[in-house]
């Protein structure tokens, strides 16, 4: 067990040596007591000047030195690594989706732990934050770097909430500035989407159903894997999204709170027809040829075959949902309707998916106003009463 000491600064830099307690000491209080017992030796080492260097004597009085931020004493607060294991993995993560837990665990291992794991929570300062920022520069995207910084910020805030460390002792970890990363790839055009539908029809009914569930139903890949026949109402052209998989485990759909009512989406006629043509092999709508539940990887393999047959770029299956949202926007569907079908928590998310064609935008706007004019009753003219309005 390591004990951290806070000694007077040297040349303006913080001086925090760490010493390893003897092997027989495993209790934190005992380690702190041992740290106090060797504190005098550390202070003497700190105060002794190097050989050959004479101390300068000045007749003028020296200014009052700045007060050190803390007393010369070892830290009794658990390390960041201990807090991660005991409170983040043991408590905080239990409310997160399994896939999110796995992602956070990777970010901790690769980026946060190498910099902060051995430090006590109350000894993290600006230098350590700078070291963390340097570590996350290994990530190419600003959004990914900010995710790691946000995870570190959440961890420290949780420690303060549990009263393990004083919030005043914690540094502020600001996100990297510069806005969101530019989008990696554009969405498919409506023509490309139709070519993929034609290609899927030639390959087989399962490929077609999987494609249309994402393209028209706007389901996520993980929701397609978990979709059950009990969730599908072919007569009402409706799907109730009740199931999802995250990190290989069953989990509630994204943005659906625990014990909240599941959301529903509408189906296009071609999606209804595709589902009717499927052979039912059990409770799941789509079943892998091995008889097991599909995974994100197996769905991606199916869609890669469709993309190549249609001679379109091979992108992530999530681009099908992106494309479906954009096509609805191009066909003048109201933004709130698209938000409901996509099940976005915020309408600003939906707006990012919709691409405005500058060449046709003015024509569509004019057609919209013309349609409104035909439905709107003629404006009534009323005689203005004295004392109201301009004279």
Cα(43)–Cα(47) distance, rounded to whole angstroms? Answer: 6
pLDDT (0 to 100) of residue 62: 54
Which whole number is the average pLDDT over 129-142?
A: 92
DSSP per position, 305-330:
HHHHHHT-----THHHHHHHHHHHHH
Can you give the pLDDT at residue 300? 95
Bridge pairing between strands 7-10 and 13-15: antiparallel
Q: Which of 93, 94, 79 is nearest to 164 (CA)?
A: 79
Predicted pLDDT of residue 64: 54
Query: What confidence score (pLDDT) does residue 75 get?
Result: 57
The confidence score (pLDDT) of residue 385 equals 47
Q: Mapping DSSP to helix (H, G, I), strand (E, B) and coil, where does residue 13 land?
A: strand
Q: Which residue has the higher pLDDT, 41 or 339?
A: 339
pLDDT at 391: 42
What pLDDT is attached to residue 387?
Answer: 47
Using the 8-state DSSP alphabet, how is residue 120 labeled?
A: B
Do residues 293 and 286 touch, judged by C-beta distance below 8 A?
no
User: With pLDDT > 90 as the criterion, what percentage of the chain qualifies?
Assistant: 45
Q: Which pLDDT score, from 0 to 100, does residue 373 have?
A: 79
Asked if 324 contacts 215 with a C-beta cutoff of 8 angstroms, the reply is yes
pTM score, whole prediction: 0.63
What digits encode the pLDDT tens for the residues 329-384? Answer: 888 888 899 999 998 888 888 888 776 666 667 777 777 778 777 776 655 554 44
Among 96-100, 147-151, 361-365, the minimum mean pLDDT is found in: 361-365
- pLDDT tens sequence across 308-335: 999 999 999 989 999 999 999 888 888 8
Per-residue confidence (pLDDT) for residue 265, from 0 to 100: 94
């Amino acid at each position: 067990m390591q004990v951290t000491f806070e000694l007077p600064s040297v040349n303006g830099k913080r001086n925090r040596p760490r010493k390893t307690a003897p092997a027989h000491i495993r209790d934190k209080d005992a380690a702190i007591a041992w740290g106090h017992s060797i504190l005098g030796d550390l202070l003497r080492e700190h105060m002794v000047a190097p050989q050959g260097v004479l101390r300068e004597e000045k007749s003028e009085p020296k200014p009052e030195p700045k007060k050190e931020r803390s007393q010369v004493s070892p830290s009794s607060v658990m390390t960041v690594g201990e807090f991660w294991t005991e409170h983040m993995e043991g408590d905080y993560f239990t409310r997160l989706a399994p896939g999110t837990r796995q992602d956070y665990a990777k970010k901790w291992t690769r980026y946060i732990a190498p910099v902060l794991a051995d430090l006590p929570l109350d000894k993290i300062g600006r230098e350590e934050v700078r070291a963390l920022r340097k570590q996350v520069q290994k990530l190419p995207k600003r959004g990914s770097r900010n995710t790691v910084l946000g995870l570190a910020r959440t961890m420290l805030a949780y420690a303060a909430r549990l009263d393990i460390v004083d919030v005043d002792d914690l540094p502020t970890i600001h996100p990297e500035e510069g806005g969101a990363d530019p989008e990696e790839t554009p969405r498919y055009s409506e023509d490309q989407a139709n070519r993929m539908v034609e290609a899927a029809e030639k390959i087989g009914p399962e490929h077609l159903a999987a494609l249309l569930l994402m393209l028209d139903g706007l389901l996520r890949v993980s929701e397609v894997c978990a979709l059950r026949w009990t969730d599908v109402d072919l007569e009402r052209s409706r799907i109730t999204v009740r199931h999802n998989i995250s990190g290989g485990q069953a989990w509630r759909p994204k943005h659906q709170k625990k014990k909240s009512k599941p959301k529903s989406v509408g189906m296009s006629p071609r999606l209804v027809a595709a589902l009717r043509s499927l052979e039912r092999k059990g409770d799941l709508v789509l079943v892998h040829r091995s008889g097991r539940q599909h995974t994100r990887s197996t769905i991606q393999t199916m869609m890669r075959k469709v993309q190549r047959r249609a001679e379109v770029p091979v992108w992530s299956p999530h681009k099908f949902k992106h494309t479906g949202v954009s096509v609805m926007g191009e066909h003048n569907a109201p933004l709130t309707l698209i938000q409901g079908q996509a099940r976005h928590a915020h309408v600003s998310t939906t707006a990012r998916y919709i691409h405005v064609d500058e060449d046709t935008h003015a024509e569509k706007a004019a057609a919209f106003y013309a349609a409104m004019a035909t439905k709107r009753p003629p404006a009534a003219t009323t005689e203005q009463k004295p004392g109201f309005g301009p004279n």
